[in-house]
Amino acid sequence: MAEVVPFKGVLYNIPQVSKSKGEELLAPPYDIITSEYREVLYQKSPYNIVRIDFGRELPADDDGQNRYTRAKGFLDEWMRERTLLRSEIPSFYSYEIAYRIDNTARKLQGFLGLVRLEELGKGSIHPHEYTHSKPKKDRLNLMRICRANISPIFSLYRSTEGKAAAILAATNDSTPYIEAADPDGAVHRLWEVNDPEAVAAISQELRGKAVFIADGHHRYETALEYQREMRAKEGQGGGPRPYDYVLMFLADMAGEGLTILPTHRLVEEMPPDALDLLSHDFKIEEMRTGFDILPAIAGRRDVYGLYTGGDIWYRLSYKGEGIHGMPAALGDLDVTILHDLIFKQLLDVERVSYEMDVARCLQAVRAGASAAAFFLNPTRVGDVEKVALASLRMPPKSTYFYPKLMTGMVLHIFNSTITL
């Protein structure tokens, strides 16, 4: 049963350290920050959260002095100087993102709270993707030293009651505590929700709901690993401890503000007879009317774009019905058919990289950096739910939830007790 609780979040002392509503203090998620953009964030403010979440690596770094120890130093200093302040009473934090996609205005509404950790797929918290080990190691090092959740996990739930959504919408009519635009122009706003009745109503509505991890699987798995380490160190007795919970952004998937974008695949090698190998399972059409690839495959299930160079590309339409022997929730997915049928069974593709921008994919092939590019439609939200509830996982990079959450809106710094 999912347990979602308020907490005494740590927020920037906006009046003291920001000339605006906090824009110069926040950062995108660390895994989409380039080294060049990290320098831009460093220049924005001496208090930008990137110094803690994804600080610079220096030539002289060693086990005793490195970006993780510097992160802890900044965190402690900012708390002492009251650059960061802890909320006085346990709260939820309403978080709204206004953005545009395909020239359409949209609004994602949710809230930040703590969710009690459970083993994935064995309770109410469900993953949907496989993860890579390197990000988990980095996040674990940061958590060990800072003893905090610096950035939230993006998660979804489904509700028919709509009570939490109504409370958040009413809260959002007031002036936000933080208001900041991200590099894409999306506007992020934050409000504190600390009225006891509102807090209780949100907790009650989420009680027992399934929670689906949309973005941040590695952060969740890191939190589980840290919990195991701390339980081995401190023992199992007593009540819940701060590391038994993890910071999450929770949005109702029944809302209209969710967007999933596709992540395309670049492959280093292709067999010379690739089209012949594909022709038994796919209808192959030569597309000679330009490179508006995504509109040409949009809305069609099990349809892909393939570019191998030159002035044409190919539209591949799968002739089958899922992958034989694989559970339907997974075997019907575009991304599964691409990875398990096209890459593994038909073409024997091993080295795959990921790129969201169509033009960059085309350029990579034209420049000879990649042998081919495969283009996909976005995974549907309903498919994410089906896969997660079936305790299955999609290949990595199957979903790209947009817009990304900003880091620095609220931090969960572990203290000695959890106040429910």
273 in a domain, yes or no? yes
The predicted pLDDT at position 132 comes to 61
Written as six digits, the tokens of 420 are: 């429910």
Count Cβ atoms within 10 A of the Cβ of residue 324 and give its class: 0-12 exposed, 13-18 middle, 19 or more buried: exposed
Of 208, 228, 219, 205, which Cα lies nearest the Cα of 248? Answer: 219
pLDDT by 10s per residue, the chain, length 420? 689 999 999 999 999 999 889 999 999 999 889 999 999 999 999 999 999 999 999 999 999 999 999 999 999 999 999 999 999 999 999 999 999 998 899 999 999 999 999 988 788 898 887 766 666 889 999 999 999 999 999 999 998 888 999 999 999 999 999 999 999 999 999 999 999 999 999 999 999 899 999 988 889 999 999 999 999 998 877 788 999 999 999 999 988 899 999 999 999 999 999 999 999 999 999 999 889 999 999 988 899 999 999 999 999 999 988 788 888 888 889 999 999 999 999 999 989 999 999 999 999 999 999 999 999 999 998 888 888 888 888 888 898 999 999 999 999 999 744 554
Kindly report whether the peptide bond that precedes residue 327 is cis, defined as omega within 30 degrees of 0.
Answer: no
Q: Which two tokens stand for residue 418?
A: 């959890």
Residue 118 near residue 44, CB atoms below 8 Å: no
Do the beta carbons of residue 108 and residue 403 sit within 8 Å?
yes
Rg for the chain (alpha carbons), in Å?
23
Tell me, what's the pLDDT at 134?
63
Helix (H, G, I), strand (E, B) or coil at 177: coil
393 assigned to some structural domain? no
CA-CA-CA-CA torsion sign (51, 52, 54, 60)? positive
How many angstroms from the chain centroid is the CA of residue 73?
Answer: 27
Measured in degrees and rounded to the nearest 5, phi and psi for residue 248 equal -135, 145
Is the domain of 269 the same as that of 358?
yes
Token pair, residue 352, equals: 């795959």
**Residues 183 and 282 occupy one common structural domain:** no
* Whether residue 252 sits in one domain with residue 230: yes
State the first-to-last Cα distance of the chain, in angstroms, to the nearest integer: 16
Buried/exposed code over 36-66 (b: 16+ C-beta within 10 A; e: otherwise): eebeebeeebebbbbbbbbbeeeeeeeeeeb
Q: Bridge-partner residues for 215, per DSSP?
A: 154
- Does residue 224 share a domain with residue 285? no
The domain containing residue 113 runs over which residues? 4-259+402-413
Backbone CA torsion sign across 222, 225, 229, 232 = positive
Element (H, E) at 12: strand 10-12
**Nearest-angstrom CA–CA distance, 14 and 25:** 9
Residue 390 within a domain: no
- Same structural domain, 270 and 142: no
The pLDDT score that the predictor gives to residue 254 is: 85
DSSP category for residue 149? E
How are the residues of the chain apportioned to helix, strand and coil, as percentages rounded to the nearest 5?
A: 35, 25, 40
Task: Work out whether the CA dihedral 131, 216, 383, 103 comes out positive or negative.
Answer: negative
CB of 160 within 8 A of CB of 378? no
Between β-strands 125-126 and 211-215, what pairing exists: parallel, antiparallel or unpaired?
parallel
Residues 198 and 286 occupy one common structural domain: no
- The structure tokens listed for 293 are 């690839």
Structural domains counted in the chain: 2
Query: Is the residue at 146 inside a domain?
Result: yes
Question: What are the CA-CA distances from residue 94 to residues 172, 184, 198, 263 (Å)?
Answer: 7, 21, 11, 29
Put simply, whether the predicted model's pTM sits higher than 0.85 gets the answer yes
Closest CA to 304 of 357, 264, 345: 264
Residues 74 and 172 in one domain: yes
Q: Is 385 domain-assigned?
A: no
Same domain, 223 and 253: yes
* Same domain for 99 and 20: yes
Place of tokens 């299930």: 301
Query: Is 206 inside a domain boundary?
Result: yes
Residue 283 and residue 224 in one domain: no
What's the CATH number where 267 sits? 3.30.1760
Asked whether residue 396 is assigned to any structural domain, the reply reads: no
355: in domain: yes
Q: Verify that 176 and 110 share a domain, yes or no.
A: yes
Same domain assignment for residues 163 and 286: no
